[in-house]
């Protein structure tokens, strides 16, 4: 148990202070590139010898950013912009901005105007019709363009062999994340929702190879623990982010374990590997065509709902918790059809709204307590 706790604490410490990771990398002479969600080709940054640094917002009040974005834009973008405006991200050599929701479409312009050329923006586009050959080809060509911009920042050409090696590092990391997530579901008494979330999220701020090493050690240590019965509830989460410390504490207070997820920041990002192809950039584009379960991806027929229900059944979940990011249009559009699908499948689903600028979680607490009582009944 000590080794499990030690490794979980190490990863939690990374998550608690991502800036320390950034500072350490820069002090080591490594360039860092900020990566906004979703599905930016991080492998290309890594192949260029730079550190991809995840930008998933922060638990803070945004003030300055409200001069650029109206208040009804999600807190993820408000808080990243706020950090940029305050100079906290000045050590980044660039940021990658995917243009996959209406709010993200304006982010690059706001950043350029507010933060300036000190941290240049790399726009990342991919095809809405991401599965068809023409879509894959479009995405491949856009990612090649991104590669050219990254090469200019790194000051060196990046070979296909280097990209292939980076893809291998990322695929190993995804496999380690999947194995950890499964092990955590088997040991809810040892891996709290807070610890599970931190262990996964830490990867966005670390060298992926180092993260893989820690996760593999953690999964092995979890497997060595003696069996223990879990009397609490088991839920599957879905949404964009489920990393709010207050929300995760409410789950713990109610003896609720997260035994699987369909969260963009978590499993959605590691469920699918990058296929190994002759042109490694094409493989990265193909991967995007295979990812499901995210509201920013074109999803006719709401594959997301089918996948979520299958997951809940597979992990024997008592219910589904939809962690709704406030002011996120894509999530709000998905909610109604997916909720109907869960109702038809007889799986209880609760939605709670979260916001990184929120300080009072009492409404969420009441809803989760009531949900837990219903599930236990």
Place of tokens 């507010």: 114
Q: Does 127 bind ligand SF4 (CB under 6 A)?
A: no
- Total of residues contacting ligand SF4 (CB under 6 A): 13
Report how far residue 94's alpha carbon sits from residue 115's, in angstroms, rounded to the nearest whole number: 11
Q: Of these, 92, 101, 247, 250, which contacts ligand SF4 (CB under 6 A)?
A: 101
Nearest approach, Cβ of residue 97 and ligand SF4 (Å): 10
* CB burial of residue 141 (10 Å; 0-12, 13-18, 19+): middle
Nearest approach, Cβ of residue 334 and ligand SF4 (Å): 10
Q: Which is nearer to ligand SF4, 74 or 221 (CB)?
A: 74
Report how far residue 163's alpha carbon sits from residue 11's, in angstroms, rounded to the nearest whole number: 27
Q: Which is nearer to ligand SF4, 104 or 199 (CB)?
A: 104
Q: Does 74 bind ligand SF4 (CB under 6 A)?
A: yes
CA distances 311 to 2, 190, 248, 299, Å, are: 31, 22, 20, 17
Q: Does 98 bind ligand SF4 (CB under 6 A)?
A: no
Closest CA to 255 of 275, 236, 276, 230: 230
Q: Does 104 bind ligand SF4 (CB under 6 A)?
A: yes
Q: Does 260 bind ligand SF4 (CB under 6 A)?
A: no
Stretch that binds ligand SF4, among 73-81, 142-150, 203-211, 280-288 (CB under 6 A): 73-81
Q: Does 328 bind ligand SF4 (CB under 6 A)?
A: yes
Helix (H, G, I), strand (E, B) or coil at 263: strand
Nearest approach, Cβ of residue 303 and ligand SF4 (Å): 17
Helix (H, G, I), strand (E, B) or coil at 141: helix
**213 to 242, contacts with ligand SF4 by CB under 6 A?**
240
> 62: which 2 tokens?
């945004």
Q: Which is nearer to ligand SF4, 176 or 296 (CB)?
A: 296
Cα atoms in the Cβ-side hemisphere of radius 13 Å centred on 287: 27
Nearest approach, Cβ of residue 171 and ligand SF4 (Å): 25
Q: Which is nearer to ligand SF4, 104 or 119 (CB)?
A: 104
Nearest approach, Cβ of residue 325 and ligand SF4 (Å): 4
Q: Does 103 bind ligand SF4 (CB under 6 A)?
A: yes
Stretch that binds ligand SF4, among 19-27, 85-93, 324-332, 344-352 (CB under 6 A): 324-332
Handedness of CA 336, 342, 343, 344 (dihedral sign): positive
Q: Does 110 bind ligand SF4 (CB under 6 A)?
A: no
Report how far residue 45's alpha carbon sits from residue 93's, in angstroms, rounded to the nearest whole number: 11
Nearest approach, Cβ of residue 38 and ligand SF4 (Å): 7
Can you list the positions of beta strands (E) in 32-119? 32-35, 51-54, 94-98
Q: What x-and-dash track marks residues 287-306 binding ligand SF4 by CB under 6 A?
A: ---------x----------
Sheet strands side by side (includes 94-98): 51-54, 32-35, 94-98, 121-124
Handedness of CA 66, 70, 73, 77 (dihedral sign): negative
Residues lying near ligand SF4 in the complex (CB under 6 A) are found at 74, 76-77, 101, 103-104, 240, 296, 325, 328-331
């Amino acid at each position: 148990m000590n080794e499990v706790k030690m490794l979980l604490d190490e990863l939690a410490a990374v998550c608690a202070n991502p800036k320390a990771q950034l500072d350490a990398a820069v002090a080591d002479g490594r360039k860092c590139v900020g990566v906004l969600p979703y599905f930016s080709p991080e492998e290309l940054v890594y192949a260029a010898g730079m550190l991809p640094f995840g930008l998933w917002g922060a638990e803070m009040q945004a003030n300055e950013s409200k001069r650029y974005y109206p208040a009804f834009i999600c807190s993820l973008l408000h808080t990243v912009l706020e950090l940029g405006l305050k100079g906290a991200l000045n050590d980044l050599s660039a940021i990658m901005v995917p243009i996959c929701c209406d709010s993200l479409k304006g982010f690059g312009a706001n950043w350029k105007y507010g933060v300036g050329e000190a941290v240049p923006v790399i726009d990342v586009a991919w095809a809405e019709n991401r599965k068809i050959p023409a879509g894959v080809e479009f995405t491949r060509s856009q990612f090649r363009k991104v590669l050219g911009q990254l090469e200019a920042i790194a000051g060196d050409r990046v070979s296909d062999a280097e990209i292939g090696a980076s893809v291998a590092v990322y695929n190993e990391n995804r496999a380690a994340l999947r194995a950890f997530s499964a092990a955590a579901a088997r040991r809810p008494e040892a891996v709290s929702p807070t610890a599970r979330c931190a262990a996964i999220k830490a990867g966005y701020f670390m060298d992926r190879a180092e993260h893989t090493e820690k996760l593999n050690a953690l999964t092995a240590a979890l497997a060595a623990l003696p069996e223990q019965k879990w009397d609490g509830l088991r839920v599957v989460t879905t949404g964009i982010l489920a990393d709010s410390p207050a929300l995760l504490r409410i789950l713990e207070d109610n003896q609720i374990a997260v035994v699987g997820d369909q969260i963009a920041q978590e499993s959605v990002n590691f469920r699918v590997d990058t296929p190994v192809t002759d042109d490694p950039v094409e493989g990265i584009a193909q991967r995007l065509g295979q990812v499901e379960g995210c509201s920013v991806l074109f999803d006719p027929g709401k594959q997301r709902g089918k996948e979520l229900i299958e997951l809940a059944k597979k992990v024997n979940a008592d219910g589904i918790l939809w962690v709704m990011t406030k002011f996120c249009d894509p999530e709000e559009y998905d909610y109604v059809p997916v909720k109907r699908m869960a109702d038809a499948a007889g799986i209880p689903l609760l939605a709670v709204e979260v916001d990184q600028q929120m300080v009072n979680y009492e409404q969420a607490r009441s809803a989760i307590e009531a949900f837990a009582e219903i599930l236990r009944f």
